[in-house]
Structure 1
Amino acid sequence: MAGIAIVGVAAPAQAKWLRADSNNFIIYSEGSERDLRDFAEKLERFDATLRYRFKVEGGKDPNPLTIYLVDRATDAGRLASGKGGSSIAGFYSPDPEGSFAVSNREDYVIKGTPQSQQTLFHEYGHHFMRRFLPGAFPAWFIEGFAEYYSSADFTKDGKAEVGKPVYSRAFGLLTMPKIPAETLLFKRPLEMRNSGQMDVYYGRSWLLTHMLFNDKARIGQLGSYIDAIHKGVDPKKAATDSFGDLAVLDQDLNRYMNKPMNYRTTADAIAIAGPITIGALTSAQDAAVPLRLERLSADGDVRMLKARDGFKRLTAQYPGDAGIWFELARAEWDLTDDNRDKAAARSAVDKALAIDPKHVRANVLLGEMLTGEVEDKKDATAADWNAVRKPIILANRTNSDDPVPLSAYYRTFVNQGMKPPPIAVEGLARAFNLGPENIEARMNYAFALANDGKFDAAIRLARIVAFDPHDGGGGEELLAQLEKMRAYAEGKAQGGEADAEASAD
C-alpha cells in the first residue's frame, strides 16, 4: 500500500487519474477514458436495475458515492488490510467523511463477468442496501444480497440479467465443509475461523438468498422472516416460524446447489439516467489521490504517518493548492495524541483557508480544532462556542447538500454539554437522510430521537447497526444503551403515575 502512495508522489506524470461524474457516482480511475465511460455506464445501469427491482426513486443524488479503481486486486487488498497477500479484491466504507468504495480494473473472468465488476457490484450492493433499503437485516442476508446481485450483467441491448451463478464461490461450496443453514442464520462472517470457512459463509449466504428469491416452494418466506426481524422477534423464532424445520431448510439448500439455476432478464433495456462527464485531474489532484486513499484506509498511525509525510512533500510541490493543505491538516489531525502535531495541523488548515476561504471540509476541520481548544479552557463562554460554530456554518452555507457540516454543527452542542436546539437536530436529521449508511450519523440521530422521547424510532435505527456483519459489536452496545434509556423512562413514567394515584387517594 505504501508503494501506491510513493508512486503517486515520486512520479505523478505516470499516474494520470481521470474522474467520471454521473447521477450517483464520482469515479476515479487511472485507466483509459473509454474504459472508464464503459464502467460508469455499467454502474449507472446496475444502480437503475436495483432501483427498478426495489421501487426506489432515481434522479441526481446530492451525495454520490465515490469510487476508486486501482490497477490490481492486490492493490485493493493492501489498502484494505495494510499488507500484501490479502484475498480482499475491493471494499466499501461508509466513512464519516463520505462513503467510498475501492475496486480494481483487472479483467480476470471465471465464466460470465469480470471479477473486478463482481467485486464492485458486491460493494455497491452493500451501499444500496444501507442507503435505500433501511432495515435490521441479518448478517447472512446482507452478504447474500450483495453476492446475489454482484453477478448481474447486461445484454448488448441493455437488458439486465440478474441471479446468475457466482462461479467464484463454486470451489468453496463444492469442496469445503458445508456450513449448516442453522449456523449460517445465526453467525456473522467475522466469527468464521479462517478465510476458507469465510469463503464458504459467503457462498452459502448467496445460495440461500438465491433459493429464497427463486424457489417457488419458498416464495414469501424471506419477506415474512425479515418482517419478523424488523419487529424485534427473536431471530431463532423468526427463522423457524418463516422457514420451518431448519434441518429441512439445510437439506433443501444442499439439493438446490445441485440444480440448474435460473436467472431473470428484464423485458426492457435498463436506461442510464443523466449524463456522464469525464475529465482529467490537475497535477496536484492527480498526485493526491493515492495518498488520500492511504489516509482514508489507514487503521493506525503507521499508515497515517506515511500519508501525512507524503502530503508534506506535495505541499512543497503544490504550495498554492488548498486541497493538498487540507489533506495534510486532516492526516495530521487524525493521528493519535502521541504523534499529532496540533500546531502543524492548525497551520495547514489555515493555509488551506487562506487559499480557499470557502473550502467546505477545511472549515469543518477548523471547527473541530477550535472545539478542542475551547474544551481545554476552564472558563469557556457562549462566545467561544459561537466561534467554534462559525466556520461550520460557513461550510453548510457553501454546500447545503454535504452531510458532514450538518453533523459537525450538531456535535458542537453535545461537546458543549447542552441540549442541541431544534435547528441542530433538524440538521442532523438531514445529514442522516443524505447518508443513512454513515453509522456515526445514524447513532447520533438515534440518541437525538431518544433524548426527545422517541425511543421506538431510535431503537429501530440502532438495530440496523447491531445486525451489521462488519460492525465489531459497537452497535449492540449502543442498542443496549438505548433500550436501557427506554426502560428507565418507562419506569419513571410508571412511578409518576403511581405517585399521582397515591396523591389522589
Structure 2
Amino acid sequence: MVAAILAVIATPAHAKWLRADTESFIIYSESNEKQLREFAANLQRFDTTLRVVFNVAAKGEESRLPIYLLPGRDDVARLATGSRSAPVSGFYRQDRDGSFALSHRQNDGTLPGTSPAQQVLFHEYSHHFMKRHLRVAFPGWFIEGFAEYYSTVDFDKEGRAMVGQPAHRRAYGLLMLPKMPAERVLFEPPSAMRSRGQTDVYYGRSWLLTHMLFHDPARANQINAYTNAINAGTEARKAATDAFGDLAQLDKDLNRYVEGRLSYRTTRDPVPVSTAIKITPLSADEDAVMMLRIERMNARADQARLTKVRDDLRALAAKLPANPDLQYELAAAEWDIAPATRDLTAMRAALDKLLAARPEHVRGNVLLGQLQLHQLRQKGETDPAAWKAARRPIQIANRADPNDPIPLHAYFQSFLTERTRPSDMAIKGLERAFALTPENLNLRSAYAVSLAHLGRFEPAINLAKTVAFDPHDNGRGDALLKRIETMRDRGAAAAPEAEDDDGEG
C-alpha cells in the first residue's frame, strides 16, 4: 500500500483529491471538478428538500457532515468489512472522528430510478437528518422505513423533488420472499432477523408501511398519533393498536397496498440549491495521507487492520517526516490500537511533531489532552493541578474551533477520567456539543446521563428512549434507559461514573 501511495504523490503539485464545501457537507473525492460540483449540488438539494418537508428553518449546519467518495462499490465494501465482495454500497458511521459517510462514484444500477449508490447515501443521510432534527423517539421499523422512503428522492429537470417513489431494490423481497406479518415489523428490531432474506423483507415492509401511512388518506395522521403515544410512554402494542386499529387488518391492507399503484409527490416549486459550492484541491500533505486516513477511520476494532494501517503510516512518515497531517494520523492510529499493544511514546512523538508545526491543530490537541489524562489515571494521580494542566490542550482545541463538538465532549470526559464531578463549564460544553451533533449516540447518551445527574429526569429519559429505540445502538440504549429510570425512582442524582479509559469517546 505504501508503495502505491508514494507513486501517487511523486509529483505533489498535482494532488488528486478535491474537497467540495456546501452549506451542509464537506465532500472529498478524486473525481474531476465538474462531477464533484454536480454531486455536491444534488446532495445539497436533497438536504434542502428534507428541510422544506420538515420545516427546518436553518440553512446549512454549524457542524457539517464529511462524505468520502471512492471510485467503486468494491472499495466501499472493503473499507466497511475488510472484504471487497461484501454487499455494501455505502455506509454512515459515528466515532471519535465524528460522524461521516462513505459512498462511491460508480453507477452500477440495473433497476429503474436513481443509482444504488445515491439511494444508499440518501438512506444514510436520512438517518443523520432524523437524529439531528427530529428529536423524538421513533421505533426501529419507522427509523428504517423513513430512511428507505426518502432514499428514492429524485429531481426533475426543473429541480423539483419527487418524493415517495418506489424502492425498486426492495421489490424482490416484497414480492418473491415470504411476507413478514405487520406484527413482526412493528415489534421486532432488525437485529432479530435471522438471514439476509429476512432482513431484506423487513426493510421492504418497513418502507411499505411508512409509504402507506404517508400516502393513504384513510390513515392520515396515524403515524403522528402512534409516535406521540410512544413518546408519552404508552406500551408499544397499545400505541400501535390505538393508532392503526386491528393489526391483522393492517397486515391485509399492507398486502393490498403493495399490489396497487403507488403514488409519489412532487414539490410545487424547484428546490433551491446554493451556488456557493467551493471546490478546492487538497494540499500535497493532505492528499498524501487521505487514503490512509480513510483506512484508519474504518478499521475500527479490527486489530489486524489497525496494526497494518499504523505500520503503513510509520513507513510513509519515514519518507515524509515534515508532513503534519501524516503525524496526526500516525498518532491517531496508535491511540486507536488496543491499550495493551499501542506505543504511547511513539504517539507522543508524533503529536509533538504535529503541534510544533501546527500549534492550534484541533484534533491533535484533543489527542494530546486525552493521552495526558490517560497517563495521569494510570499512575493514580490525585493532584488537581496536574489534571488541570493535562486538560489544557483540549481547551486550546476548543478555542481554535468552538463549533467542533469533539473538544467539548473530550473536556467533559476529562473530569470522568479524573473521577470527579464535571465543572459547570464542562456540563455547558457537553450541552453545546449535543446541540452541534445530536445524531451522535455516544454523545446523546452522555448528555442524557448528565441531565439525570442534574435531576432533570424527564428530558433525560426522553433522550434515552431515542437511543433505546435506535436499531443501530447495539443494545446500549435499553441499559441507559433503565439506569436513568432507576435514578429517577430513587429520587436522587448519582455521582458521575468514569467511562473505561480505552481511548474511546
The TM tier, using the shorter chain, reads over 0.9
Give 3-state SS (helix, strand or coil) of 1:161's partner: strand
Identity %: 49
Give, as a single letter, the amino acid of the residue that structure 2 aligns with 1:217.
Answer: A
Bigger CA drift: 20-29 or 268-277?
Answer: 268-277
Q: How many Å separate the matches in 2 of 1:379 and 1:108?
A: 57
> 2:8: which partner in 1?
11
> 2:293: which partner in 1?
292
Q: Report if aligned partners of 2:160, 2:266 keep a CA contact under 8 Å in 1.
A: yes
> 1:464: which partner in 2?
466
Q: Report if aligned partners of 1:71, 1:106 keep a CA contact under 8 Å in 2.
A: yes
Q: How many Å separate the matches in 2 of 1:164 and 1:445?
A: 37
Q: Deviation digits for residues 256-275 of structure 1, max 9, x if unmatched?
A: 00111111111101101361
> 2:328: which partner in 1?
326
Give, as a single letter, the amino acid of the residue that structure 1 aligns with 2:58.
Answer: G
Confirm whether residue 440 of structure 1 aligns to residue 428 of structure 2.
Answer: no
Bigger CA drift: 373-382 or 65-74?
Answer: 373-382
**TM-score using structure 2 length:** 0.94
Change (3 A) 1:15 1:167: farther
Give, as a single letter, the amino acid of the residue that structure 1 aligns with 2:8.
Answer: A
Q: Report if aligned partners of 2:138, 2:466 keep a CA contact under 8 Å in 1.
A: yes
**Deviation of the 1:10 alpha carbon:** 5.0
Give, as a single letter, the amino acid of the residue that structure 2 aligns with 1:267.
Answer: R
Give 3-state SS (helix, strand or coil) of 1:303's partner: helix
**Deviation of the 1:84 alpha carbon:** 2.9
> 1:482: which partner in 2?
484
Q: How does 1:23-422 map to 2 (within 5 A)?
A: 23-109=23-109, 110-273=111-274, 275-298=276-299, 299-422=301-424
> 2:499: which partner in 1?
none
Q: How many Å separate the matches in 1 of 2:277 and 2:289?
A: 23
RMSD: 1.7
Q: Deviation digits for residues 304-350 of structure 1, max 9, x if unmatched?
A: 11221222122223322222101100100111123211111111111
Q: How many Å separate the matches in 2 of 1:186 and 1:255?
A: 21
Q: Deviation digits for residues 399-446 of structure 1, max 9, x if unmatched?
A: 000001111111111222221121111110000000001112111111
> 1:501: which partner in 2?
none
**Deviation of the 1:218 alpha carbon:** 0.7
Q: Deviation digits for residues 76-103 of structure 1, max 9, x if unmatched?
A: 1221112232111111112232110011
**Deviation of the 1:208 alpha carbon:** 0.6
Change (3 A) 1:476 1:8: farther
Change (3 A) 1:261 1:98: same
Q: How many Å separate the matches in 2 of 1:347 and 1:258?
A: 64
Q: How many Å separate the matches in 1 of 2:302 and 2:108?
A: 32
Q: How many Å separate the matches in 1 of 2:283 and 2:120?
A: 29
Change (3 A) 1:406 1:274: farther
Q: How many Å separate the matches in 1 of 2:67 and 2:408?
A: 23
Q: How many Å separate the matches in 2 of 1:29 and 1:6?
A: 21
Q: Report if aligned partners of 1:122, 1:149 keep a CA contact under 8 Å in 2.
A: yes
> 2:457: which partner in 1?
455
Paired residues in the alignment total 489
Bigger CA drift: 432-441 or 287-296?
Answer: 287-296
Give 3-state SS (helix, strand or coil) of 2:20's partner: strand
Q: How many Å separate the matches in 1 of 2:441 and 2:383?
A: 31
Change (3 A) 1:292 1:350: same
**Deviation of the 1:136 alpha carbon:** 1.0
**Deviation of the 1:393 alpha carbon:** 0.6
Q: Report if aligned partners of 2:441, 2:473 keep a CA contact under 8 Å in 1.
A: no
**Deviation of the 1:12 alpha carbon:** 4.1
> 2:498: which partner in 1?
none
After the TM superposition, list the runs of 4 or more consecutive aligned residues in structure 1 that deviate by more than 6 angstroms. none
Q: How many Å separate the matches in 2 of 1:391 and 1:439?
A: 25
Give 3-state SS (helix, strand or coil) of 2:174's partner: helix
**Deviation of the 1:59 alpha carbon:** 2.3
Give, as a single letter, the amino acid of the residue that structure 2 aligns with 1:414.
Answer: L
Q: Report if aligned partners of 2:455, 2:493 keep a CA contact under 8 Å in 1.
A: no
**Deviation of the 1:107 alpha carbon:** 1.3
Change (3 A) 1:169 1:9: farther
Q: Which runs of 5+ in 1 are unaligned?
A: 493-505
Give 3-state SS (helix, strand or coil) of 2:355's partner: helix
**Deviation of the 1:303 alpha carbon:** 1.1
Q: Which runs of 5+ in 2 are unaligned?
A: 495-505
**TM-score using structure 1 length:** 0.94
Q: How many Å separate the matches in 2 of 1:356 and 1:437?
A: 30
